Amino acid sequence: MHQNHPQNPTASTTQISPAAATLWASAFIIAALVILQLGKLPVNPAHASNVLAERGNYTLLTTDGGDGDGQRRYEMLYILDSREQVLLVYEIEDAQRGIMRLRDGGNVNNLFRAARR
């Protein structure tokens, strides 16, 4: 008695039709062209008003304070001491003259607790 064994599906080879191969090649070429064109898009210029610096336990961040005239916008300086868990917020009225004012600050846990109320 002779038994028919099905062929091993992993041993069979599949062939891609020339039309499918052409479509795949076209898709890869179009994708490459899209990537090249995305590289030519304009990027946002860097602004000095959003500077982030980290050193040791300290993180410093500057932002636009929203006050002042068009020529002299006030900057805000945020200092986070991660070891002591303290956040200090300074307003820089005139950086050229070195005028800074402490606006607020305190223990980070207390600040978050107060914000939740």
Specify if 60 maps to a domain.
yes
Domain that holds residue 93: 52-116
- Of the candidates 49, 59, 38, the one whose C-alpha atom is nearest the C-alpha of residue 108 is 59
* pTM listed for this prediction: 0.50
Contact (CB, 8 A) for 76 and 89: yes
Angle value at C-alpha 54, between 51 and 60, nearest 5 degrees: 50
Specify if 7 maps to a domain.
no
* CA distances in angstroms from 114 to 21, 54, 104, 106, 107, listed in the order given: 63, 26, 13, 11, 11
Specify if 112 maps to a domain.
yes
CA distance 89 to 63: 11
pLDDT(94) > 60: yes
Q: Per the structure, how many domains does the chain have?
A: 1
* Structure confidence by residue, pLDDT tens digits, 25-84: 888 788 777 777 767 766 544 444 566 788 888 888 888 777 666 566 678 888 889 888
Specify if 10 maps to a domain.
no
Specify if 90 maps to a domain.
yes
pLDDT(17) > 80: yes
The percent of the chain in helix, strand and coil, each rounded to the nearest 5, is: 25, 35, 40
Q: Which residues contact 45 (CB under 8 A, 6 or more apart)?
A: none
pLDDT the model gives residue 45:
42
Specify if 86 maps to a domain.
yes
pLDDT the model gives residue 71:
60
Specify if 107 maps to a domain.
yes
**Higher model confidence: residue 78 or residue 96?**
78
Specify if 111 maps to a domain.
yes
